A = this chain, B = another copy of it.
Amino acid sequence: MRMDRLRELREAKGLSREGLARVAGVSAKTIEAHEYGRTSDVSVSIAYRIAAALELPLDDLFSASLKAVTLKEAV
């Protein structure tokens, strides 16, 4: 699953891509790839660090519609 709410959540916290990347301990490229839809999934470790840097639960990084699609693919 791509972190399709990442840009919205990052901007709501007033963080730049570089700023979020530094706090989360990930590369700015990783943040950019998710914000521009150039990746389709992410490891839980990376997602968890980004969620913690945004002070949000892991679940919040993903829209309800994306979660619904992910579950439909599983059936």
Q: How would residues 35 to 75 of chain A score, 1 for a CB under 8 Å from any chain B CB and 0 otherwise?
A: 00000011111011100110001110010000100110111
Interface range on chain A (Cβ under 8 Å from partner): 20 to 34
- Are B57 and A25 in contact, CB atoms less than 8 angstroms apart? no
Question: Does A26 have its Cβ within 8 Å of any Cβ on chain B?
Answer: yes
| Complex alpha-carbon distance, A47 and B62, angstroms | 13
- Are A71 and B49 in contact, CB atoms less than 8 angstroms apart? yes
Centre residue among A25, A45, A59, A67 by max chain B CB count within 10 A: A45
- Are B71 and A52 in contact, CB atoms less than 8 angstroms apart? yes
Which positions in A face B, CB cutoff 8 Å? 1, 24-26, 41-45, 47-49, 52-53, 57-59, 62, 67, 70-71, 73-75
